[in-house]
Amino acid sequence: MIDLRRLLQRREPSSVTPGTFGFAVVGLGRIAEHFLNGIQGSPLVRATALVSGDAAKAGKLAKRYDVPFTCGYDDFESLASRTDVQAVYLALPVSMHREFTARAAKAGKHVFVEKPMASDVGECRAMVGDCRSAGVLLSVAYRCPFDPMHQQLRSLIAGGALGKVERIEAQFGFELAADDWRWRNDLAGGGSAYDVGVYPLNAARYLMAAEPEIIAAIATMNATGMESSIAWTMRFPNGVEARCKSSYVEQLYGVLTVRGSAGELTLDPAFAHKMPIRMRGWYTDPASGKRVEVNAAAPSDTPSHFRLEAEHLAECVRTGQPVITSGEDGLRDMELIAEMYGVAGVVAR
C-alpha cells in the first residue's frame, strides 16, 4: 500500500501579512456559514464585513465570528472605502452574481463568486469583462482543485500511472426539498447541472487538463419545465469519454472513477467538504511496472477547502500569479452546460 501522505504536502501561501486580506461575505445563507467556519484559524485571511438583507442575522453572525462591519445590499458601495476589505465572497442566489460582481469591481474589490458562476454564458462573459476592466481578480468557488486527492489523481494521470486513460465516470445529486430556492429558475438560472452537475463537469476538465465537447445528453424536466436531472457524455481531444450525471430528484452519491489501461482509481466521496475525500483503487508504477494498491484520504490536518480557496486568491493578489479557478474557467463550464442543454433539448427559461 502506497503512503500518499509524503506526496500531499500543501504549499503554504507565502509572505502575505497575517490577517490583512479581508473578505466581505455577501449573502448569509448556508454556504456563507461554511465559508465563515472554514476560514477560522487562517493566518492569512479573515472576514471583515458581512452584507445581508437581514440585519438581525448579520448582527448575530458578526458577533459569532468577530466581524467588525455589517451593511445591507443597498449600502454595498460603502465597502469601497473600507481598507480592511480586499475581496468579496458572493454567496448569493445565482441571479444576483452578475450585479454584485459589477458592483464589487467598480468598488475596486476582488471577486470570489460561488458556483455556478452566473445564470447564463452572457452574464459570465460580462463578469469577466467587468473584473478585467477594473483590474481586479475573479475567482469561482470550485473547491475540488484544492483538495489533495484531486491533485494527486491529476498527477498520477499526467505521470502515466493509469496508462492510457479510457473513461471517466462521475455523478452527484440529491433529492432537493420542494421549497428550496434552487427550484426557482429566476433565482437559480438552471437546474441540477448548474448546482451539482458542475462538480463532475469541472473535475473532469481539471483531471484531463483539456477541453471536451458534449456528444450526448438526456434530461428529465419537472412540471414547470426546469431540468431536474441530466446525464451527459463528453469527449476529450485524446478520445477519453466522461460519462456524467446530476440530479435534484435522485440520491447520487458523489463518486468519480478514472479507468485506464494500467489502473483504475476512484474518489469516494469525490466532492465532499465536510469529510475527507478518499482515493481507492490501483495503478501501475511507471518506473517498476509493479501494481500499486491505493486506499488513502487527505491528511486529517488538511485545511478546509474554503480556507484553501480564500488563501489562494490572497496569494494571487499578492504575487500576480493567475487564479487556478478563474472566471474564464467558470465561463467555460457554463458554455459546456449550454451545449449540454442544447443537445438534451432543454429550453432556457
Q: For residues 57 and 42, give the distance between their C-alpha atoms in angstroms, rounded to a whole number.
A: 24
- Residue 111: CB atoms within 10 A of its CB come to 27
- Whether 313 and 131 have beta carbons less than 8 Å apart is answered as no
115 is catalytic: yes
Pick from 263, 251, 210, 253: nearest CA to 234: 210
- Residue 280: CB atoms within 10 A of its CB come to 15
Cell numbers 504536502 correspond to: 9
Q: For residues 153 and 165, give the distance between their C-alpha atoms in angstroms, rounded to a whole number.
A: 12
Question: Which residues are paired to 292 by β-bridges?
Answer: 283
Exactly one of 115, 248, 283, 341 is catalytic; which is it?
A: 115
Per-residue DSSP letter, 195: I
Exactly one of 89, 142, 199, 341 is catalytic; which is it?
A: 199
Q: For residues 93 and 117, give the distance between their C-alpha atoms in angstroms, rounded to a whole number.
A: 10
341 is catalytic: no
Classify burial at 191, counting beta carbons within 10 Å of its beta carbon; exposed 0-12, middle 13-18, buried 19 or more.
buried
Q: For residues 193 and 341, give the distance between their C-alpha atoms in angstroms, rounded to a whole number.
A: 9
Residues whose CB falls within 8 Å of the CB of residue 265, separated by 6 or more in sequence, listed in order: 153, 156, 162, 257, 258, 279, 280, 281, 282, 283, 294
Pick from 1, 270, 257, 290: nearest CA to 161: 290
Question: Which residues are paired to 22 by β-bridges?
Answer: 46
- Whether 105 and 77 have beta carbons less than 8 Å apart is answered as no
Q: What's at 140, amino acid-wise?
A: V
Residues with catalytic roles: 115, 199
